[in-house]
Amino acid sequence: MKNKIAFVFPGQGAQYVGMGRELYDNYHEVKELFEKADEILGRNITSICFEGPEDELKKTENTQPAILLVSVAAMMVLEKHGIYPDMVAGLSLGEYAALVAANSISFEDALPLVMKRGQFMQQAVPLGQGMMAAVLGLEREKVEECCRLASDAGVVEPANYNCPGQIVISGHVAAVEKACAIAKEMGAKRTVPLAVSAPFHCSLLKPAGEALEKELDKIHIKDPEIPVVSNVEALPVRDAAHIRKLLVQQVSSPVRWEDSIRYMIKQGIEVFVEVGPGKVLTGFLKKISSEVKVKGYNVEDLKSLESTLKELGGTM
């Protein structure tokens, strides 16, 4: 009996200059996908992925389509080799790649949509007014309490429940800094400010969600063909109307990644493949699944593809 496989897709922050290059050079389908992406966006996203410069790739409106493009390219290669998912999920932006994987949103619609999503998220809060920070080594209830205690200094809320001992908070600069100071007093190992351009996944981003809703109304969304575990509910979303609603909420709601992975493990998923740039989600998986036997792999270049196919019995 074959193992049940989940594909998980990375979010913003996983990007690096050169990502996707080896797959592009070795698979004509990937080359065609990149050429199509340049055409759809009316900008040379291929060159931004491969050559940068890093500052250009880090712009949210470039980062989001670039990561989506590389993630879908890696998925196409896996499927070409006979590896298909039973379930999918994606961290924040990665949820769009998951919806493409489930044939719920077309790649042609998802790509310009995430570019606009990036622009809306960037515009929602003026530069320098918001920030995000990772709180390490503190239980979730205590992190929530830190945010409550610091809320007199502005908006500060949990943004990402990544894995045990790593929760990201988001909001106004003064409030996030105050929450970090309280977290240290409560016993956090450390707090790490994140190099992001806006305070994602908190209520300050509601205007971005409203702008995104208008764009979502213009595209065709189908019921997913395989379960897509949503960030907002950490449960499968089964119909197109609910997907629209959750994608709007997702921009300003916390990403329940740890809960999503635990749900998938309970459903019998034994193998998680991180599809796209980086290995951040594979690192989270190790911390989430320390008591159960699941395997994590990643596919972003030829070496990682080869070792994953070898383990999963795909055809090379």
Question: Strands across the sheet with 271-275, in order?
Answer: 236-237, 228-229, 87-90, 5-9, 271-275, 295-299
- Kindly report whether the global pTM for this prediction surpasses the value 0.85: yes
User: What is d(CA 242, CA 156) in angstroms, rounded to the nearest whole number?
Assistant: 27
**Is 175:182 a contact under the CB 8 Å cutoff?**
no
User: What is the set of domains in the chain, with CATH numbers?
Assistant: 5-124+204-312 (3.40.366.10), 130-196 (3.30.70.250)
> Which are the contacts of 176, defined by CB distance < 8 A and separation ≥ 6?
130, 131, 132, 133, 150, 156, 169, 170, 199
pLDDT in the model for residue 197: 81
The structure tokens 């240290």 sit at 184
CA atoms within 13 A on the CB side of 266: 10
pLDDT in the model for residue 313: 85
pLDDT in the model for residue 1: 57
Q: Would you please indicate which residues are annotated as catalytic (active-site) residues?
A: 92, 201
Tens of pLDDT along the chain (316 residues) come to: 578 999 999 999 999 999 999 999 999 999 999 999 999 999 999 999 999 999 999 998 999 999 999 999 999 999 999 999 999 999 999 999 999 999 999 999 999 999 999 999 999 999 899 999 999 999 999 999 999 999 999 999 999 999 999 999 999 999 999 999 999 999 999 999 998 888 999 999 999 999 999 999 999 999 999 999 999 999 999 999 999 999 999 999 999 999 999 999 999 999 999 999 999 999 999 999 988 889 999 999 999 999 999 999 876 5
> Which are the contacts of 274, defined by CB distance < 8 A and separation ≥ 6?
8, 9, 10, 280, 281, 282, 296, 297, 298, 299
Radius of gyration for the alpha carbons in the chain, expressed in angstroms and rounded: 19
User: What is d(CA 112, CA 33) in angstroms, rounded to the nearest whole number?
Assistant: 14
**Is 51:110 a contact under the CB 8 Å cutoff?**
no
pLDDT in the model for residue 32: 98
